Every structure is written in C-alpha cells, then in structure tokens.
C-alpha cells in the first residue's frame, strides 16, 4: 500500500476546525516540518506506536504537546508490550504518562 500524503489535511482541518483526527504512525513517514504544521492546525492526536530510539517519546511530546499524544501499539503488527515498555521507560512524570495512556483518548471521546 503506498503512503498517503497528509499535506491536504491542512486545508481540511481549516474547513472543519472541530474534526477529531488522529494520525497513526505519523512520525515514521511525515516530515517533521509537516508534522509541526499538522499539530498547529489542530490534528487531535498522534499515536506513539512508531516512535523509536532513546528519548523518542519525550522528544515527540515536546514536539506536538502532551495533549496530542495517544497510546498506540499497532497491534498485531507490533507487540502491545513494546508500546507499553516504550512509555514506561520514557521517564515521563506520572500525570503525563496517564494523559497519554488514558486521559487524552477520553477527552477526545467527550469533545
């Protein structure tokens, strides 16, 4: 399956400002500049399943904001334990970890 260019989402988000859009694995194939523009335009969230490397979760939280990061495992292609361990080893404050695991998804569901 070819990758999809998310750039047209910028116009769509302007047209529908209350859209609840969550991009999966965006950090793997979206250029950082476009990722920043999507976050600023109002993308509701990004999952952390595709984050790799030391400090990946922390860096991503700093880039898009904790309120936009959602727990995601990409199961069954990746193991659930991998995503859980990635978050646990990130060293984030307990309230930030809880926001990513639970609170951000609940907030999106209620909005």
- The domain locations on the chain are 19-110
Over residues 32-46, the pLDDT tens digits come to 999 999 998 888 899
pLDDT tier, 50 (very low <50, low <70, confident <90, very high otherwise): confident
pTM (global) more than 0.85: yes
pLDDT band at residue 85 using 50, 70 and 90 as cut-offs: confident
Mention every residue, 6+ apart, whose C-beta is less than 8 A from residue 46.
Answer: 22, 23, 24, 26, 27, 35, 39, 60, 64, 68, 69, 70
Which of 2, 44, 37, 52 lies closest to 23, judged by CA?
Answer: 44
Bridge partners, 46 (sequence order): 23, 69
pLDDT higher than threshold 80 for residue 1: no
């Amino acid at each position: 399956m070819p990758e999809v260019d998310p750039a047209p989402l910028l116009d769509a988000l302007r047209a529908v400002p209350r859209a609840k859009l969550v991009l999966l694995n965006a950090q793997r194939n979206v250029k950082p500049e476009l990722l920043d523009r999507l976050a600023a335009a109002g993308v509701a969230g990004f999952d952390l399943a595709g984050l790799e490397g030391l400090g990946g979760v922390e860096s991503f939280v700093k880039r898009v904001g904790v309120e936009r990061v959602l727990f995601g495992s990409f199961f069954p292609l990746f193991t659930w334990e991998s995503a859980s361990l990635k978050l646990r080893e990130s060293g984030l404050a307990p309230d930030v970890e809880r926001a990513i695991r639970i609170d951000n998804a609940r907030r999106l569901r209620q909005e």
